[in-house]
Every structure is written in C-alpha cells, then in structure tokens.
Chain A
Amino acid sequence: MSDDPQQDVLKGTLDMLILKALDLAPMHGWGIGERIAQLSRDVFQLQTGTLYPALHRLMRQGWIQSEWRTTENGRRARYYWLTASGRRQLEAERVSWERASLAVRRIMNADA
C-alpha cells in the first residue's frame, strides 16, 4: 500500500480535500470519494481504508460532524458536514496550500 504513488500525493492534503468536498453540501462517505474523484478528473481515487480513517480523524478534531439520515430512496446513510471551525480550518489550509503550491511552481519553473 505504501508504495502507491497516489498516497504520497494525498499526504497532507487529504484532510483539505475532504473539507473542500464537504464545503459545498453535507455528503455521505461514498459521495465524498466520488466528488473528489470527479473534481480531480479521477486522479485521486480514495479507498475506504484511506477515506474513513480520515473522516474519523476530522471528527475528533471537531471540524466535521456526522449524523445518520434516511436518504431519498429510504436507505440509511451517514452524512458528514462542516462545522464552523471546520470552515475556518479549510480557509486556513487553502491559504497555506496556495502559498506552498505557488512556491513549488516557482521552483519548478525556474531556469537553471
């Protein structure tokens, strides 16, 4: 598992991606994975062993909350949504991510 390159890409940004996915609307776990896959054009495909531990970690941080709801077709699913502090965290991560990615881009584009 650890030699999967996708894991390395996600390292450190996974939490931010999940928060971002939930920023639009409350969602169940599968939907979060789907949304990240869609938005990344299938670059990031989260396995359950990555997604759910992350969701529980975010709950422990108090950034998201969850609740079991009955969905449109009468099925039970666990929905997650952002808390106020989660929204602040997302904003903070976005700022630092943009600064970091800009810096990385500058380095990579520099003429040696």
Chain B
Amino acid sequence: MSWIQGMAQRARELLRPHASELEIDEELRDHFEREVERRIRAGAAPDAARREARLHTGGHQSAKEAVRDGWTGRLLADVLSDVRTAVRGMRREPGFTAAVVLSLGLGIGGTTAIFSVVYGVLLRPLPYPDSDRLHLVEIWWNDFSASLSPADFLALRESGAGVADVGGFTFPDAGFALRGDDGPEVVDGATITAELPRVLQIAPLVGPGLSVATTACEVLISDRLWQRRFGRKPDAVGRSLVIEGEPCAVVGVMPESFDIPGRYGSSIWIGLRPGEPKRRGPFFINTIARLRPSVTPRQAEAALTTRVVAILRDRYGIRNEWRYGLRPEKDVLVGNMRETIWLTFGVVALVLCIAVANVANLLIARGAVRSRELAVRASLGAGRGRLARQLLTDGVVLGVIGGAIGLGIAVATLEVVRANLPALLPRMAEVRFDLPVVAFALALGIAAGLAAGLFPLARLPWAQLGQWVREGGRTSGESVRLGRLRRFLVIAEVALTLAVVCGATLLVKSALRLQAQDPGFAPHGVLSFRVGISETAYTNERAHLFFETLEDRLRALPGVRSVAYALGLPPNMLDVSNNYTLEGETGDSAGHGGVAEWNAVSPGYFATLGIPVLEGRSFSLADTATAPQVALVNQSFVRRHFRGQSAIGKRLKGGDWDPKAPWTTIVGVVTDVPYTGGIWGGNHPTFYEPSAQNRWLRSVLVVVKTAGDPAQLVGPIRRETSALDAGVPLRDVATMTERLDRSASLPRFRGLLFSLLGGLALVLAATGIYGVMAYHVNQRRRETAIRRALGARSAQVVRATLESGMRLAGAGIVIGVLGALVLTRSLSALLYKVDPFDPAVLAGVTALLALVAMLASLVPAMRAARVDPAVILRDE
C-alpha cells in the first residue's frame, strides 16, 4: 500500500506545486519560530535568539529549493518556468533573437534540405519489399561489364533455383507510342520479363499478369492509365492497346508503387520474352536477381557463374572466362552521384558549424550582459544546476525555433531544387519531407542550441561564484577567459568560411568555363526531336524511304532552312560506339584499330548543325546503299591514327574483323563535337557513315534549322509527320540551345548551390567578427578613454581596434587556407578545366575575406574613436 501513498504525495507535488510551496513556507516559518522560542525560553534576548536561530536552521530559501529539487513534478515545472524565462528574455531583445534564430534557421535549413536528399537518395531503401536482397546481375570480364544477352538471361533463369529469382527489363529513352482516339501519344514504359513483378514482389491489382509461355504481345498498364483509358473498369483486362503500331492485350493493372528500378510513373510494361537465340549476343537485358534469404551475394555469384557457364558451354560451345557479378540495386541507381551528395552535405554541415559558432558568440556576448541577472539569482539561492538549466534552456528554445524556421527554409529550398534538376538526381522523386527528415531538423536545432548554450555555461566562474556575485557578475579573470573563447570561435568561423568560399568560387569558375566552351556546332535556331517507326511494319527500304520523304516534306515548310536526321546528336545524345580495323594494320584479327563513337547521318547533317568540313567532302545523295561505302571522321580520329598525314582515301572496316566484308573509304574530316558525357566529357574519336548505308535505322533524331522562332514550327512539323504515318508521334522535342543548356545544368546548379552556401558563410562570419569586435571595444572603453585622455588621436584608436580585428581574421585565414586545400582536393572531380589549387581563386578569396573582416571591424573601431574620455571616466 505504501507505493499508493507515495504516488499520492508525488501527484500533490506535481499537480499543486503552488499549494505545496505555500505549505513548505509555512512549515519552515513554524520551524524557525519554534527555534527562536526555545532560545528565549533558555533565557536569550529576543534579538539574539532570532540571530542565533537563523544561523542554526540555515537559509529559508535554500531549504525550500532543496525540498523542491526532490519533487518529481519539479523538473517539469522548472523546465516550463525556464522556457517562460527564456521566451521573456527573447522578447526583450528582438534584434538579438532575430540574429540568433536566423543564423540557426539558415544553417539548419540548408543542412536539412541536403539531408532530405541524402536520406531519400542514399539511405532510404528502394520502394520494394526486402529491397536489400535485390541485385543487378552483370557479366564481368576483367574490367569490362555488360548487361545480359538473351542467351545469358535464359541460362541464368534456369540455373537460379535455390539461389535467386531473376527478372529482366529494357527501356527505350524515348518512351512508347500509344495509339489514341486523337493521334498517338508518347508514354513512358519498359519491356519486362514475366518474372519481374514477382522478383520485385509487387502483384497486379487486377488480372493474371504476364504469362511466360506465349508469343502474343501482352502489356501491364498503370493504375493511372487504367483510369484514363478504361475508367477503372475490370473488363479492361483482355482488351487491347495499339503500341508502336502493334496490338497488345492488357493482362493486368499494376499498383501505383510499381515501376522498374529508378523509374517512376511509367504507364505500360510490355512482356519481354527472350527467344532461344542462335548466338550469344547482343547484350541488352538489365537483370535483377532477388537473392534467397540465406544466400550472400558472393555465394550467389560463384554458384551462378559455375552453373551458367556450364549451360552456355553445352548449348553454344562458348568457352570463356566471363563471370557473373552482383551489385546491390540501390548502389547501381545512385551511381556516381554518391560523392557529390556527401560532399555537398559535408559543406552544408560546415556552414551549420559556422552558424553554431556565431550563435555561441552571440549568447556569450549576451551572457556578459546577463551576468548581473545571473548573479542576482545565484545570491537569492538558485543552485548551480538551476542556473545551468536556465542557460541550456535558453539555447534549446532558440534552437527549436531555429529548427522550425530551418524546416521552412528547407522545404522552400527543396522545391527550388526539384524544379531545377528533376532529372539530374537519381531517385529524386523519392525525396520528400517525412518523419526522419523533420526529426533530423528538430534534433539538429536542439543539438545546435545545446552546443551554443554550453559555451556561455562553460565560462561561468563556478569556483568563485561567491566572489563573482559580490562583484556583480564581473571579474577580470572571467573576461579574459571569455575573450579567449570568443576569439577562438571567430577564428574558426573565418577559417571555415574561407574553405567554403574557395570551394564555391572554384565551382562557379568551372561552371563558367563549361558555359564558355565552344561546343563545336551552331545550336542557334535549330529544332530537334526524335521520330521512331515500327520495327516490324517497316522493311529496311521502306524505313529509309520514310525518313527521306519526311526530310523532303519538312524542307518544303516555310521558314525551314535545312533538315537532316541522324542516329545521335551532340552534346550528349549518342550512345553507340563500334570497334573497327584500319587497312594496313595487322588486320588479321578483330579489335585492332580501336573503338570510336559511331554516328549515322543524312547528307545535310553537318550543314544544319554548322559543323565545318575541314578536308575532303561531306556526304551526298549519291552515297546510296548500293554505292561504295564511305565515311567521315573527326579531328580526334585523325589525331589518333594519321598524325601528320591526310586521312582522305584511307580505308577501314567496322565491327568485328571479317575478311569478306567490303572496305569503307574515308572521304572527309569534320571538326570535333562532343557526344559522350556532353561538353564535360570532351571530344572523342568519331566515325560517321551516311544514313543511306545504315540499314537498321528505325529511330532517328531530326534536326531542323529555322529562319525564325523554332517553336512556331512544331505544329506544322507534327502535321507533316502524321501525314506520312498517323501512328508516329514527335518525341522529346527541344531546341539544340536547350539541349546544350540542359547538358550543363548539373555543374551550373552545383555552382549556384555552393555560391549560396559561400555567401551565407560570409555573412555569418562577418556578423561574428563584428560581434566580437563590438564587444571588445565595449570592454576596453575605459582603457581607450585613458589613452584618449593621454593624447591618443582618433586615427590611432581606430588603427588599434582594426589591428586586433585583423589579427583574428589573419589567424582564421591562415588556418582556412590549409582547410581550403583539403576541401578543394576533394572537389577536383567536380571541376571542369579548373585547377583545385587555382592560386588566383585562393588569393582572391583571401583578399575578399580580409576586406570583409576589415569592414566588420571598422564600425566598432569608429565607435571606439568617438569615446569621450570625460564621460567614460566619470561613469566608471
């Protein structure tokens, strides 16, 4: 029963703290009076009795504090009262509060926005059940890796039993043409093997799903397409859609959560059924394996390699050292963005450190002002713990408000990021503000507030609290310690800022270099788009005729200067390369010569894009399928093989070496343009063949050079295209200027982001220097006044203050330069034609920081110069 009585007492303390306090007051008074009476009874005079009784019983307040400190509810009540005191203090000093809360808000906002990206892209599991068991399967041969061929896929599927469940997919960049009532529409989609939904563990909402054993075209559709095309009627299953000109039976509806890894919001998934092939290649099936729970990736690699190699040997007589490698699907998707994201997060964290240092500085400055208040509270009996709690509560309240503001800033920042680079970051669609991110912001706020609150706490002179109180919260030793800490914080701020601003400047310089780089072609006024025709409905000859006719009809449109089409376009829309053998080299086996970017272009291509022909001739209409095979190469190709000689007339064979294949003659040389990796990727050896001599073209990029506004021609071009084939839509329409711009958007965005961070760091550091110098000047008023009284001139006073400000900045700059060297080295992969140790940047940023530090100390210096010795010396 005793615990019930105990609980009742606790509840009284918690629920009625005021009444309980009154009781203690009364009890202590009663105690004191009894003590006095005892002494009077013993014969003491009333005055003496009271004095002795007071000494004997101890202080009323401290006894009361001691009782209250034991209360359970006491902690809560104290915290609430501390919070009230903190808020009251903040309202008294709106300027100070705004400075602190904004510093924290900006720091936390930036960090949270980037954290949401880190979390969404790097940390959050893929949106499939048990997604850590999903691995991408690749073929490895030394350093070379590839997707799987149908032969490999079939062998892998057979041998997976007990180890892994495998499914495959492929996806076209330009989507699928879906026939509708008013013309074709282009929808995103993929071709997937029947097993893939099972491997990803997401079942259809309706319908049986893809079947393994059929040759008919089957398609799964998204929930949204089901709604749009069939009004969510269950009888949609069994109806058919016309995709790329072919009828395809709907066999199921997939839930919103389903898509192939790395893609979101696709509309259709067409059945992919790799037939039993005659040879091993080509390699194009992305293969996902779901490992059995007890199997490790290394075990699976070994088991699959052994089994598949055996099957391939039996079936195709292939003997080789290829093996199968597994990579976690999440790592595959994030790819090379991992470093960029972590680096950005690191820099943002540095800026947050600067913000915390700044807030600590401001709190110390205010702590000096509040010393008197703390001293009074200490002398009224507030214990150490109580004062410490108050100071920490101040920090935490500021931190929580800062965290909330930071969250707002982060939401806004993320919207900007999302609008500017939707396609640049993998998994960006999965980035959102959910519990972990909000918790991160608030935890960061509280931690930052605590850290900032601990600094002023650390410098309260606990050991000499009594002396300190008697002196009204001012002792000389204390102010020296405070000065040292604040100076350290400012030096750290300047150092961190220098490093961040250096990084930002390098990235901006890099983005500007990239922008200024001559792309090698003339993008102005050129419209481009993709046209793809059905693989089955068009023979090679008919396909060629279609593209020739389209070119003619477009050229006849008013406002069109020239038209051409090609397999790929600069700056980054060609992903075909081929090996070749040059005549005269040891041409008895495949592979001699090299690998080059391989483009097929119509005769008007170079003129339309303004790519100059330097030597020889361009392609002409005479270069037909039956004419002798000809080629153009670029300067890089010439440099690789014909140093100092003319390339014209040289002969080569494309693809694997075949003695019976005809030779191709080089008839011209053109200037370099980038195809792989955009301008950043640089120029590579490139080989061009006339489109008429490439028999496989079904999907081409058309370029139209216009006299006026390219956008005005999109309508007429669309009409001409559907007049030729009503089932062919225009895909991926954009001007070449837009494509060029887009190819540089990631470096540009990085430059912008880091500039913002650098600017923020600069503002914070300037505030920090200003705060310390203003406080320094205030503390030295007396000294300054004496010096003035002894005849020091204003200029000398200003110089003395500036000097001490610049000494701080100087120390920060020296440390910062060392820090910058470390930071910029890790940036080097993100820099385009800029040296990470660029001396001009380092010197410029150092000068900038020195200037900012100078300006930040100038204002307090001027104030020091205005010190009137008479007034100060009289007051002190």
Contacts and interface: CB of A to CB of B under 8 A. Distances in A.
Contact residues of B: prevailing secondary structure: helix
Given A48-B31, A78-B23, A57 B60 contact: no
Contact of A63 (B2, B30, B31, B71): B2
Contacts of B27: 28-29, 52, 77-78
Interface string B52-93: 000011111011001101111000000000000000000000
Interface in B1-49: 1-6, 9-10, 13, 23-24, 26-28, 30-32, 34-35, 38
Interface of B: 1-6, 9-10, 13, 23-24, 26-28, 30-32, 34-35, 38, 56-60, 62-63, 66-67, 69-72
Given A60-B9, A76-B26, A52 B67 contact: yes
A30 B2 contact: no
A34 B56 CA distance: 12
Interface stretch (A13-21, A83-91, A92-100, A102-110): A83-91
Given A48-B28, A63-B2, A76-B26, A56 B58 contact: no
A61 B67 contact: no
Contacts of A78: 23, 26-27, 30
Contacts of A50: 58, 66
Of B27, B28, B58, most buried by chain A (CB within 10 Å of CB) is B27
Nearest to A31: B34
Contact of B2 (A34, A68, A86): A86
A96 to B, nearest CB: 19
A88 to B, nearest CB: 9
B533 to A, nearest CB: 86
A48 B72 CA distance: 20
A62 B31 contact: no
9 contacts: A28-B27, A48-B32, A48-B60, A48-B63, A49-B62, A49-B66, A56-B67, A62-B2, A62-B6
A56 B72 CA distance: 11
Contact of A56 (B31, B60, B62, B70): B70
A101 interface: no
Contacts of B60: 48
Interface in A51-65: 52-53, 56-57, 59-63, 65
Contacts of B72: 60
A41 interface: no
B34 A83 contact: no
Given A48-B63, A52-B63, A76-B26, A30 B35 contact: yes
Given A34-B38, A53-B70, 14 more contacts: A28-B34, A30-B31, A47-B63, A48-B32, A48-B58, A52-B66, A53-B63, A59-B5, A59-B6, A60-B6, A61-B2, A62-B6, A76-B30, A83-B2
A52 to B, nearest CB: 5
A56 B71 contact: yes
Nearest to B4: A62
A30 B34 contact: yes
A75 interface: yes
A77 B63 contact: no
Interface in A67-86: 68, 75-78, 83-86
Contacts of B1: 62, 83-85
Contacts of A75: 30
Contacts of B63: 47-49, 52-53
Contacts of A45: 56
Nearest to B5: A62
A53 B67 contact: yes
A30 B28 CA distance: 9
A47 to B, nearest CB: 4
Nearest to B72: A60
Contact of A77 (B13, B30, B57): B30
B798 to A, nearest CB: 51
B840 to A, nearest CB: 63
Nearest to A32: B31
A52 B24 contact: yes
A77 B71 CA distance: 21
Which 8 interchain pairs have the tightest Cβ spacing? A62-B2, A85-B2, A47-B58, A62-B6, A48-B63, A62-B5, A49-B63, A30-B34
B57 A57 contact: no
A103 to B, nearest CB: 29
Nearest to B381: A49
A47 B57 contact: yes
Contacts of A29: 27, 30-31
Nearest to B65: A49
Nearest to A75: B30
Contacts of B34: 28, 30-31
Interface string A15-43: 00000000000001111011000000000
Contacts of A76: 26, 30
Contacts of B66: 49-50, 52-53
Contacts of A65: 5
A29 B63 CA distance: 13
Of A45, A56, A68, most buried by chain B (CB within 10 Å of CB) is A56
A104 to B, nearest CB: 29
Nearest to A59: B9
Nearest to B34: A30
A28 B34 CA distance: 11
Contacts of A47: 56-58, 63
B3 A62 contact: yes
Given A29-B31, A56-B67, A78-B23, A49 B5 contact: no
A59 B72 CA distance: 12
Contacts of A62: 1-6, 9
Of A30, A45, A50, most buried by chain B (CB within 10 Å of CB) is A30
A100 to B, nearest CB: 24
Nearest to A88: B2
A56 B63 CA distance: 12
B30 A30 contact: yes
Contacts of B32: 48
Contact of B28 (A52, A61, A68, A83): A52
A49 to B, nearest CB: 4
A112 B402 CA distance: 67
A18 B13 CA distance: 21
A16 B5 CA distance: 19
A47 B69 CA distance: 16
A53 B58 contact: no
A59 B6 CA distance: 6
A65 B626 CA distance: 112
